[in-house]
């Protein structure tokens, strides 16, 4: 029997990147999937937005694993929209067992040059949106009385300070703090709460011209190959970067019965980047 057969997992930011990978990976283990994404631009983001077509492709990839899927467009900054998605999920599937609060965005600039919108959008999506997702999902999990698992997407930026992404660093540190509080609050209900803290991951947020320029300010109009020379020095393992699947595999473990005694943990998935001297 698949490890997650009979479970329902709600995943935000599921239209592409890590969120899509998480949806497909948990579907492979038998979970029915509620795939949520804004599927629209956030003006302060420096990379192209996911689209409704991206979200529908995620749904098709999940369906190919012979599980059920509900795809919903919703902004994690909008509590009413999230509450409606959860109501639809409960009507369709009867319960939610797993929550992966993954939706995120980013902006680049020195801290003192960030605009109000750059700061607010990053904090609202990456931190407040995580809280809103949990707020929407957890009451039904508590009421059902059968426990569950919550994984919040933080980052190495939630464990370390990095220049030029102050809003992102602040929000991701906040996600780890929120996780620790939730682990205390939800432990008595047998609901486990952990974070994953990815390093350099091959997604649209990382692989773009603005990021290459941030890592290679010494090169005019740097390319991926220029940035690769820096990327490969950052991990202990011989990796240029990690793939979304690497994070998805960690999440699949954290939400499974094998991790039944693990809660309150911020798990780096980084090829050893955090430990590099």
Report, as residue numbers or ranges, the catalytic residues.
168
- Left (φ > 0), alpha (ψ -120 to 50) or beta: where does 71 sit? beta
Residue 153 has which token pair? Answer: 């997407």
Cα(224)–Cα(132) distance, rounded to whole angstroms? Answer: 35
Cα(28)–Cα(94) distance, rounded to whole angstroms? Answer: 20
Nearest alpha-carbon partner for 36 in 114, 109, 137: 137
Start-to-end Cα distance in the chain: 43
Nearest alpha-carbon partner for 241 in 200, 204, 272, 206: 200
Residue 20 has which token pair? Answer: 């899509």
The DSSP secondary-structure symbol of 271 reads T
DSSP code string of 150-202: EEEE--GGGTS--TTBHHHHHHHHHHHHHHHHHHHHHGGGTEEEEEEEE-SB-
Nearest alpha-carbon partner for 31 in 61, 10, 60, 56: 10
Nearest alpha-carbon partner for 193 in 150, 231, 247, 140: 150
Burial degree of 21 (CB within 10 A; 0-12, 13-18, 19+)? buried
């Amino acid at each position: 029997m698949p490890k997650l057969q009979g479970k329902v997992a709600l995943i935000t930011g599921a239209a592409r990147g890590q969120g899509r990978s998480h949806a497909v990976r948990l579907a492979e283990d038998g979970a029915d999937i509620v795939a949520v994404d804004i599927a629209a631009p956030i003006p302060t983001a420096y990379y192209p937005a996911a689209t409704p077509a991206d979200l529908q492709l995620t749904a098709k990839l999940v369906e190919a694993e012979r599980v059920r899927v509900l795809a919903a467009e919703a902004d994690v900054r909008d509590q009413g929209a999230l509450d409606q998605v959860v109501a639809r999920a409960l009507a369709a599937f009867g319960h939610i067992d797993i929550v992966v609060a993954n939706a995120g965005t980013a902006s680049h600039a020195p801290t003192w040059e960030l605009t109000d919108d750059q700061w607010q959008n990053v904090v609202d999506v990456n931190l407040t949106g995580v809280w809103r997702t949990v707020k929407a999902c957890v009451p039904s999990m508590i009421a059902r009385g059968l426990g569950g698992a919550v994984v919040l997407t933080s980052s190495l930026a939630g464990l370390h300070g990095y220049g030029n992404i102050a809003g992102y660093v602040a929000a991701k540190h906040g996600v780890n703090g929120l996780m620790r509080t939730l682990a205390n609050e939800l432990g008595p209900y047998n609901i486990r709460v952990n974070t994953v803290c990815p390093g350099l991951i091959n997604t649209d947020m990382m692989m773009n011209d603005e990021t290459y320029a941030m890592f290679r300010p010494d090169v005019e109009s740097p390319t991926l190959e220029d940035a690769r020379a820096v990327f490969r020095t950052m991990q202990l393992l011989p990796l240029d970067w990690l793939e979304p699947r690497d994070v998805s595999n960690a999440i699949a473990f954290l939400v499974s019965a094998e991790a039944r005694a693990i809660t309150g943990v911020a798990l780096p998935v980084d090829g050893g980047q955090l430990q590099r001297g």
